[in-house]
């Protein structure tokens, strides 16, 4: 059947012999792609009288939306919290390398830093589409410095700040610009945090609660003012207590505004969260779980000493500590590893594990109409995986940007 090119001259690619993750189910159908978008084959057949120009046999692979990492501090020797002359080449390197781990979009994350670092680094982060050059950049995630001293974790104490003097103006002065900022993590118990949360939300910036000693009512108030995310649940917050469950209590709170969903990040690396805690969170609020790597510069490198912003960290196996202490400082796990560990630890379905790294982060950022799904007209950012959830190939805008070397499989 000849193609009808009245709509577009672009080639139509048909991916066959695959199981597509669509509508929360793996479905045995073909995937059709044109001009970087997922195509509705019914419209193609009946409206355009068209057919595929290229057919690709996927050999029974799973096809899932590309992973979205909303908290990644660096990797492969690059630290996003260091103001260097070659910062742009560093971010390019990370965006290229994470393609092999299935990440097609990400939020470069800066930990608590002096204002000078934000002023130098943030203008060098630009929101951009992914492609053969690397994963797309959705905007920066600024984790701190408006966080609790008591729950600072690996964040340097001398750089912590409060809102008490000028509230939102203090935040603007610290960061310099919010042009490329997508997420801000702050401690909601801080004085004047409510007005800051409202201002950030008004600008379309996602507010995340973390590194905090907030009780449940303070956390609920923050959500009522617009906060929608929790930074690495269980880590750097008050532990769950039955009389006041703290931020963790948001997972089952009845004070969440109607129509609002609270999402929460989890570092599913087998180190930061015990599998039992992972299961508790997932069973309490499955639709809010967002897998994050919280990866640091040492991801992809040999054990030893590396940096995380202003701190020196030490990698010992999968453990990363502030040098000379037992304070955890980020992760060296890759996103595909986190997905596999999450599925194994919780016993959840393959679909659920994949959506925690794709659909849920897209919903958190309000981009699920184009990312995180394989719905018709969404961006053709997707992965081919085997049944063990190992990435075999990564596609962005319908173009193959990485493929597993057969010899190394």
Residue 236 known to bind ligand: yes
Dig out the tokens for 387 from the structure. 């049944």
Cα 282 from Cα 350, distance rounded (Å): 14
Cα 258 from Cα 32, distance rounded (Å): 37
Cβ 226 vs Cβ 201: under 8 Å: yes
Dig out the tokens for 163 from the structure. 């809102």
Q: How far apart are the first and last CA of the chain?
A: 38
| Residue 79 β-bridge partners | 74
Residues known to be catalytic: 294
Residue 232 known to bind ligand: yes
Cβ 373 vs Cβ 307: under 8 Å: no
Q: What DSSP assignment string belongs to 295-322? A: B-TTTTS-SEEEEETTEEEEEETTEEEE
Residue 276 known to bind ligand: no
Residue 225 known to bind ligand: no
Neighbour-count burial of 7, counting CB atoms closer than 10 A to its CB (0-12 exposed, 13-18 middle, 19+ buried): middle
| Residue 308 β-bridge partners | 311
**DSSP-derived 3-state class of residue 181:** strand
Residue 189 known to bind ligand: no
Residue 398 known to bind ligand: no
Residue 235 known to bind ligand: yes
Cα 26 from Cα 23, distance rounded (Å): 8
Residue 329 known to bind ligand: yes
Residue 272 known to bind ligand: yes
H or E stretch at 367: none
- 42 contact partners, CB below 8 Å, separation of at least 6: none
Cβ 314 vs Cβ 297: under 8 Å: no
Residue 399 known to bind ligand: no
Task: Enumerate the known binding-site residues for Zn(2+).
Answer: 143, 211, 232
For the annotated binding site for substrate, the residues are 154, 235-236, 243, 272, 328-330
């Amino acid at each position: 059947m000849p193609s009808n090119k009245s709509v577009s001259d672009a080639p139509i690619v048909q991916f066959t012999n695959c199981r597509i993750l669509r509508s929360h189910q793996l479905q045995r159908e073909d995937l059709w792609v044109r001009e970087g978008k997922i195509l509705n084959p019914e419209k193609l057949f009946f409206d355009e009288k068209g057919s595929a120009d290229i057919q690709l046999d996927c050999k029974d692979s799973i096809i899932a939306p590309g992973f979205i990492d909303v908290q990644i501090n660096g990797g492969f020797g690059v630290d996003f919290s260091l103001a260097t002359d070659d910062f742009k080449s560093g971010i390019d390197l990370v965006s290229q390398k994470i393609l092999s781990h299935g990440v097609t979009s990400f939020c470069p994350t800066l930990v608590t830093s002096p204002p000078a670092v934000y002023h130098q680094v943030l203008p060098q982060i630009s929101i951009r589409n992914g492609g053969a050059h690397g994963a797309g950049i959705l905007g920066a995630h600024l984790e701190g410095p408006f966080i609790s001293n008591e729950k600072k974790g690996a964040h340097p104490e001398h750089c912590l700040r409060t809102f008490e003097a000028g509230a939102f103006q203090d935040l603007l002065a610290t960061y310099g610009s919010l042009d490329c900022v997508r997420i801000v993590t702050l401690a909601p118990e801080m004085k004047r945090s409510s007005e800051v949360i409202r201002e950030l939300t008004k600008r379309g910036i996602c507010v995340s609660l973390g590194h905090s000693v907030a009780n449940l009512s303070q956390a609920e108030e923050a959500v009522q003012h617009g906060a929608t995310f929790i930074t690495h649940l269980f880590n750097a917050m008050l532990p769950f207590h039955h009389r006041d469950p703290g931020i963790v209590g948001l997972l089952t709170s009845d004070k969440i505004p109607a129509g609002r969903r609270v999402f929460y990040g989890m570092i599913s690396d087998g180190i930061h969260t015990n599998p039992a805690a992972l299961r508790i969170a997932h069973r309490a609020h499955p639709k809010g779980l967002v897998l994050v790597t919280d990866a640091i510069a040492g991801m992809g490198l040999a054990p030893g000493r590396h940096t995380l912003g202003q701190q020196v960290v030490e990698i010992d196996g999968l453990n990363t500590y502030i040098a000379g202490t037992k304070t955890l400082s980020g992760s060296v796990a890759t996103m595909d590893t986190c997905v596999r560990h999450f599925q194994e630890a919780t016993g959840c379905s393959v679909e659920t594990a994949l959506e925690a790294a794709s659909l849920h982060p897209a919903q958190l950022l309000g981009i699920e109409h184009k990312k995180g799904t394989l719905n018709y007209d969404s961006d053709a950012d997707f992965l081919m995986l085997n049944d063990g959830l190992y990435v075999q190939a990564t596609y962005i805008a319908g173009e193959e940007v990485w493929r597993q070397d057969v010899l190394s499989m």
